[in-house]
Structure 1
Amino acid sequence: MSGVGGGIRFGVQRVSQAPLTLSLSKGAVAALAALALGAAPPMVGAGSEWTSPGGDAGKTHHSALTGINAKNVVALGLAWQAELGTARGMEATPVMVGGVLYTSGVAGRAYAFDAATGKQLWAFEPDVDMQLNRTACCDMVNRGVAVARGKVYVATLDGWLYALDAKTGAVVWKSDFIEDRKKGDNSTGAPEIAGDVVVIGMGGAEYDVRGYVTALDLETGKLRWRWHVVPKDPALGPQERPELEAALKTWDPKSRWDIGGGGAPWDAIVFDPETGYLLVGTGNGGPYATSKRSPAGGDNLYLGSLVALDPRTGRMVWHYQETPGDNWDFTSTQPLILTHLKVDGADRSVILHAPKNGFLYVIDRGTGKLLKANPLVRMNWAKGIDPATGRPILTPEESDYTAGPKIVFPATPGARNWHPASFDPATGLYYAAVLDLGNLIFMTPGQKPLKARGLNNDAALIFTTDVKDALGALPPPMADAVRALPAYAEALRDPGKAQIRAIEPLTGKTVWAADTAGWQDRAGVLTTASGLLIHGDVGGRLYVRDAKTGAVLKRIETGTPIMAAPMTYRVNGVQYVAVMAGWGGGGFPFVPRYSAAYDRGNLNRLLVFRLGGGKVKQPPLLPPLEVAPEPPAQAAGVTAETIARGQGLFFGNCAICHANRHRSITPDLRRMQPGTHEMFKQIVLEGALAPGGMPRWDDVLLPGDADAIHAYLIDQQVKTRADELAKQKAGKPLDGPSLTILSNY
């Protein structure tokens, strides 16, 4: 991953231009790229070292190691563990270089351990502006580090990229890569090395952002280039790049430029050493509905797309839009895998990509040409891909919710999401967590004013697992309209499920599937050349399966949820398997009953296994739930109207983090203690708990707003306490089921 002096510029320039100006064999181009850029070995899996979160240059999450195999995996046990002192989502896959294991944690913390012994070599905890936590829709997560030239690169939640000394963890440089700090931009992704630049994306498409990727100089952190996903308001002058002038023609001139358009490329950034291109998957539109974002319609380039950029200049080489005019939060930011396949009799260098929209795409890396596209799950937003144009064949009568509520398959969590997939060249199969789920989606009429650094998606979502129970909470005319939808019967018949699947990439056919505990139970995967598939689950188990059949060969109880993808490496002849453990990510306040976090809390850990290792010590069981404490009396002058206003403010600003459910990993505000009630205004308006992740809201909420929210929460606590006292008297459990309803408008 390190560069080779002045050859870096030459290599990037020549390789990236090769499809246009050079006449070299594919092997010669690959060799030139690998030599000039110091790239990882060919895309056949990682070796003893695991040099990026994806393992090898193709991010295949596949290992060539065979020391742990079907015959001896029964002896797999814990080698060492590290407790990280946090309790949020763990999504990173560690990196191992030179006998040192590097990883990242909450909000961009970074760690280095001796890969064999587990001795902590250093830990880095950045100062993070917790105001940006307000725009992190899906937890304070981080997906990993990059290691190159003796440095570890990590991005923080608030949009600073740090270069740390790999030996000491000392800061070599830090760079602010946020374009406009008055917007809702944040960062949760892993940096990517591309020649002599390090590239990082950003998040926040549900807020008020205009998505972009940023390239910084590896040695100095200085800005080298920035590429925007969507055009800027044409009233502000010419676009930054010619491709944005072309994109502008696909947007309504009266688009909601004030909101930004979305498109945030928060993941799926991969440098391809064979073509010399930087490949980027882009995010969803904001607001969600095309009719509100771009009223006259249009493809809205480059939302929901894959783009190839020249890493030397940021110039776009090609693009392929997977979801034109995105209307459903169908991001294309899900992980890319680069490999080689024989397609229609020809050897092709391809991208395997399964975005949220439900299709598995096979795309030529050099040209962006669509080679294959097949559905993985139920869908009613489209009935296929036109092979001549590469465009989806839309079904607006089933999925256009702008004129009324619709049940859309797949749901906004996506058929695939951030959980890394793997490609095993021996089996030729693509392995991944797949979600077959829909959601009811509707919005309120009319355009809404901009909410600066606030949710601007203007949509309400109710998953098909909850639709039947939720109808009673909807206005009768809307509930009747939902019952009349053709997809309603389908939602009742099969609400949805998640599975680990082995899939033929050229056909989309599932070879085998293993059900998980529920729709929130999804995890990244690892395959090895010894025929193993390894993954965790949110119930706190690590599974080792036969990659050909899915049969379970080993199961290890850890007591901590596992969502991240495992990795494997070898030190001194010993093979290890490492995985980050901790519940979080999208919907993080909604801890399901089948999650280990529900019973044992959410102790964030790095777990490392080897043959001959011991048992994992599980966290203790949480104490039984107690009846909600008695809240203070309502303040003088509080009325039903005050409480109703507080409810609206709560769901508009607070509910995305505070689910108010039993065993949530964020505080259940129906159970506040007297001291919390006394400090409510200081917490909400002055940031009294900012060090713990609770930002201040005085730039959005007035003192009277905080009082109204407090009145609503006191009312909720009164009702919760009365309900639980009745349950206690009747001998019933206190933690009854509750709905997963996301109301973001």
Structure 2
Amino acid sequence: MKNTSSRSMPLRTFLMAGSISLVLLAGCQTKEPAVPAAPAAVDSERLLGAAAEPANWMSHGRTYDEQRHSTLQQISSENVAELGLAWSFDLQTERGIEATSLVVDGIMYMTSAWSIVHALDARTGAVLWSYDPEVAKDKQRHGCCDAVNRGVAVWQGQVFVGVYDGRLVALDAETGAVNWSVATVDPELPFTITGAPRVIDGKILIGNGGAEFGVRGFISAYAVADGEQLWRFYTVPGNPELGFENAAMEMAAKTWNGKWWELGGGGGTVWDSMAYDPELDLLYIGVGNGTPWNQEIRSPGGGDNLFLSSIVALRPDSGEYVWHYQTTPGETWDYTATQHIVLADMELDGKPRKVLMQAPKNGFFYVLDRTDGTLLSANNYIDLNWATHVDMETGRPVEVAGARYRDETMIIVPSYLGGHNWHPMAYNPDTGLVYIPAQEFAAAYAQAADFEYRPGAANLGTDGVIGSLPDSQAARDAIRPLMQGRLLAWDPKTQSEAWRVEHTGPWNGGVLSTAGNLVFQGTADGTFVAYSADKGESLWQFPAQTGIVAPAITYAIDGEQYVSVNVGWGGAYALVFGEYVRAESLPNVSRVLTFKLGADGTLPPVEWRPTVVFNPPSRSASAELEARGFALYQDGCMGCHGLNAVSGLLIPDLRGSAYLHDADGWNAVVREGALAEQGMADFSAYFDREESEAIRAYVIQQAWRGKELRAKQ
């Protein structure tokens, strides 16, 4: 593990010398704590009162309700055109950046790819310290969606990060030194951590990912002092013959069929969203998909399969189950409910209600009573075709005939990437609107012809070839305009659209709302934009030189308001849909970009470069071998290297690989781990020599296709 620092003074001295004055900013009611004696001086009192400290952004959603709304309004719709770049910090990576930065008393704590943590001077971007957990690069074989991390938590002088390989690490907030480290998962199993931890009353809460690869999901709580595990709540039941951990698991087991525990444990990982209501003392978690995706294999004969695709309320002190609401019973499309959860108090039908809101992957926007999980309303926020509506009597979506693709291929909207993915939305109590990074495109689903569970590999249970791109370039070009992305302003009271801004495609950034009548969002095509919160008018934009998926934050120091966003193209869409990422693109220069009024900073120019240089060997394989390689590639390689062997920029495009010319070298990479240190794991457990050669034959075929297509352009 590496820790580096370029501080010119001790961090404690920096904090004292900075004379951080949290002044009243244009109508904000701002708490003015004393200058802290130590960095990250965050405790229960400050987190519970975070709404009164808009100068800081002390937790993932700014406040426990996860509204991602700031009452700062020095920067407003009236003057946002004067916003300029104050500073930038180069993250020295070309991988995806999904982190929400935290700012506490003038210090920014953020994460980069591979769970690397940086502490920065939030005024200038100067690095104070950095910590690299040194994750083994071949661990990415167990990550569905890039080696990303969504941020840290802070508490009483410590910074907590969930590491990609499953560790939870506590760092000294002043030096970045490791205070303690614990394994939150069995390191022999294909778990990962990409989500940000949360802190409630001295307990660190963290979930995990890995459902596609075969795990049993859970969320755990650890003591801040030493990392002792305090409780664990499993989200799906284990083998009934071994007994159940609690009554909730016994209840859930009645909704499953077959022997799901033999197929990797059932899935249901808690890989992202959490929210907390201190008055009700309820922790809300979102639960993910099953293992495999296809319920026909996972739970033959059906069943709701609790708590997959559910919102679950727990007691944060004990992990005790309180209630649940399942958005997609018996899910079979990868329709997770791990998307952003927002809490708010509002009047509905003339009555004050404590509500919970979520726009999960399945395309419906839900408003629940967060005291008991009662469904208050639901409506589709995108055009979808797998269900007609949500039945308000049962709370269940009404599925269309054939949606479960048991007997034939179905083209389903939304796809497995959802109508809304992990990218956080925001709620503005002034406008009453929720701002959703929405997207709309289809996927083809069909039963896998021959399913065999493979421990540690992706186990979807769907036909990879059916789910691939068409061979015709004209057909591929016709799909592109159907892959839509937008910023959607949604009225949760009326369950209707207020306004929308269409983007050039899907997979755009998370959202920040402010009392200055502003909504900030980055886009997939590399622009950071400020919109008016009431009308959606574009008021200001900045070219970021790379796609943006992370959400912005805002904070204030010495009476100046800043807006900061972490940029760097990445995640599932960027990996899988390489065909729809620009064929010639800027390098993915990942950075922290921070803005304030009157600043005039610029970014250094970046040269354009080709994403792949085609130099394939001659095609000598039979059509049968190429077809076999196609099927193997789609099942085992597509998740990292892209549909139909077209890379999404984050990982080298196989069509340009020199190993295409060397069968032995290709085999050494695929089956012997020759490039393990660069992230390409040994896949000998899944492919024999003949299968490895079939994949090479298919990639050569696709390399020639790409070369010929480029020659025509």
Q: Which band: TM-score by shorter chain?
A: 0.7 to 0.9
Residue from 328, 331, 336 that aligns with 1:326:
331
Say whether residues 1:49 and 2:56 are aligned partners. yes
Q: Quick one: distance in 2 between partners of 1:381 and 1:115? A: 46
Structure 1 partner of 2:24: none
Q: Quick one: distance in 1 between partners of 2:203 and 2:338? A: 21
| Secondary structure of residue in 1 paired with 2:225 | coil
Structure 2 partner of 1:298: 303
Say whether residues 1:651 and 2:626 are aligned partners. no
Structure 2 partner of 1:502: 489
| Secondary structure of residue in 2 paired with 1:433 | strand
Say whether residues 1:66 and 2:64 are aligned partners. no
Structure 2 partner of 1:249: 254
Structure 2 partner of 1:95: 102
Structure 2 partner of 1:459: 462
Structure 2 partner of 1:269: 274
Q: Quick one: distance in 2 between partners of 1:600 and 1:392? A: 42
**One-letter identity of the residue aligned with 1:223:** Q
Q: Quick one: distance in 2 between partners of 1:565 and 1:115? A: 17
Structure 2 partner of 1:515: 502
Residue from 338, 346, 359 that aligns with 2:343:
338
8 Å contact from structure 1 (residues 152, 163) kept in 2: yes
Say whether residues 1:375 and 2:380 are aligned partners. yes
Shift of residue 623, structure 1, vs aligned partner: 3.3
Q: Quick one: distance in 1 between partners of 2:445 and 2:321? A: 34
Structure 2 partner of 1:671: 656
Residue from 446, 450, 453 that aligns with 2:453:
450
Residue from 85, 106, 113 that aligns with 2:120:
113
The 10-residue stretch of structure 1 (80-89 or 661-670) with the greater mean CA deviation from structure 2:
661-670
Question: What's the % identity of the aligned pairs?
Answer: 37
Cα deviations by residue, 1:429-458 (Å, 9 ceiling, x for unpaired): 111111233322112246x22101011111
C-alpha distance 614-664 of structure 1, shift in aligned 2 (>3 A): same
Q: Quick one: distance in 2 between partners of 1:378 and 1:464? A: 20
1:375-524 counterparts in 2 under 5 A? 375-395=380-400, 397-445=401-449, 448-460=451-463, 495-518=482-505, 520-524=506-510
**One-letter identity of the residue aligned with 2:437:** A
Structure 2 partner of 1:683: 669
Residue from 214, 217, 220 that aligns with 2:226:
220
Structure 2 partner of 1:614: 600
Structure 2 partner of 1:40: 47
Residue from 195, 202, 211 that aligns with 1:196:
202
Q: Quick one: distance in 2 between partners of 1:154 and 1:109? A: 9
C-alpha distance 377-467 of structure 1, shift in aligned 2 (>3 A): farther
8 Å contact from structure 2 (residues 367, 376) kept in 1: yes
Structure 2 partner of 1:137: 144
Structure 2 partner of 1:575: 561
Residue from 295, 298, 314 that aligns with 2:319:
314
Shift of residue 332, structure 1, vs aligned partner: 0.3
Cα deviations by residue, 1:127-173 (Å, 9 ceiling, x for unpaired): 21334311211111111111111111111111111111111111111
**One-letter identity of the residue aligned with 1:436:** E
Q: Quick one: distance in 1 between partners of 2:661 and 2:585? A: 24
C-alpha distance 162-238 of structure 1, shift in aligned 2 (>3 A): same
The 10-residue stretch of structure 1 (329-338 or 289-298) with the greater mean CA deviation from structure 2:
289-298
Q: Which runs of 5+ in 2 are unaligned?
A: 1-41
Residue from 534, 548, 555 that aligns with 1:548:
534
C-alpha distance 621-408 of structure 1, shift in aligned 2 (>3 A): same
| Secondary structure of residue in 2 paired with 1:402 | coil
Q: Quick one: distance in 2 between partners of 1:433 and 1:628? A: 35
Q: Quick one: distance in 2 between partners of 1:625 and 1:449? A: 35
Q: Quick one: distance in 2 between partners of 1:326 and 1:574? A: 47
8 Å contact from structure 1 (residues 53, 92) kept in 2: no
Residue from 185, 193, 213 that aligns with 2:191:
185
Q: Quick one: distance in 2 between partners of 1:561 and 1:694? A: 24
1:348-367 counterparts in 2 under 5 A? 348-367=353-372
**One-letter identity of the residue aligned with 1:168:** T
Shift of residue 182, structure 1, vs aligned partner: 3.6
Q: Quick one: distance in 2 between partners of 1:597 and 1:571? A: 42
8 Å contact from structure 2 (residues 489, 500) kept in 1: yes
Cα deviations by residue, 1:29-54 (Å, 9 ceiling, x for unpaired): xxxxxx99436246858600001121
C-alpha distance 463-342 of structure 1, shift in aligned 2 (>3 A): farther
C-alpha distance 317-36 of structure 1, shift in aligned 2 (>3 A): farther
| Secondary structure of residue in 1 paired with 2:313 | strand
Q: Quick one: distance in 2 between partners of 1:472 and 1:99? A: 52
Cα deviations by residue, 1:625-667 (Å, 9 ceiling, x for unpaired): 7751253897xxx765554444433332222111232663211
Cα deviations by residue, 1:307-350 (Å, 9 ceiling, x for unpaired): 11112211101111111111211100001111111122222222
Q: Quick one: distance in 2 between partners of 1:592 and 1:643? A: 20
| Secondary structure of residue in 1 paired with 2:638 | coil
8 Å contact from structure 1 (residues 107, 188) kept in 2: no
Say whether residues 1:527 and 2:532 are aligned partners. no
Shift of residue 576, structure 1, vs aligned partner: 0.7
The 10-residue stretch of structure 1 (82-91 or 429-438) with the greater mean CA deviation from structure 2:
429-438
Q: Quick one: distance in 1 between partners of 2:509 and 2:88? A: 20
Q: Quick one: distance in 1 between partners of 2:465 and 2:543? A: 32
Cα deviations by residue, 1:188-231 (Å, 9 ceiling, x for unpaired): 10001122211111111212111111111111112111111111
C-alpha distance 465-376 of structure 1, shift in aligned 2 (>3 A): farther
8 Å contact from structure 1 (residues 415, 434) kept in 2: yes
Q: Which runs of 5+ in 1 are unaligned?
A: 1-34, 474-490, 734-745
Cα deviations by residue, 1:257-316 (Å, 9 ceiling, x for unpaired): 333211111111223222212110101122222221111211111111111111221110
Q: TM-score, normalised by structure 2?
A: 0.88
Shift of residue 504, structure 1, vs aligned partner: 0.4
The 10-residue stretch of structure 1 (145-154 or 679-688) with the greater mean CA deviation from structure 2:
679-688
Residue from 82, 87, 91 that aligns with 2:89:
82
Structure 2 partner of 1:30: none
| Secondary structure of residue in 2 paired with 1:265 | coil
8 Å contact from structure 1 (residues 538, 594) kept in 2: no
C-alpha distance 444-183 of structure 1, shift in aligned 2 (>3 A): same
Shift of residue 718, structure 1, vs aligned partner: 5.0
Cα deviations by residue, 1:449-477 (Å, 9 ceiling, x for unpaired): 2101011111147999967969989xxxx
Shift of residue 711, structure 1, vs aligned partner: 4.2
**One-letter identity of the residue aligned with 2:658:** Q
Shift of residue 567, structure 1, vs aligned partner: 0.3
**One-letter identity of the residue aligned with 1:509:** S
Residue from 147, 170, 183 that aligns with 1:176:
183
8 Å contact from structure 1 (residues 256, 294) kept in 2: no
Shift of residue 594, structure 1, vs aligned partner: 7.9
Q: Quick one: distance in 2 between partners of 1:605 and 1:494? A: 29
Q: Quick one: distance in 1 between partners of 2:454 and 2:521? A: 40
**One-letter identity of the residue aligned with 1:261:** G
Structure 2 partner of 1:484: none
1:557-576 counterparts in 2 under 5 A? 557-576=543-562
C-alpha distance 39-226 of structure 1, shift in aligned 2 (>3 A): farther
Shift of residue 101, structure 1, vs aligned partner: 0.4
| Secondary structure of residue in 2 paired with 1:511 | strand
**One-letter identity of the residue aligned with 2:654:** L
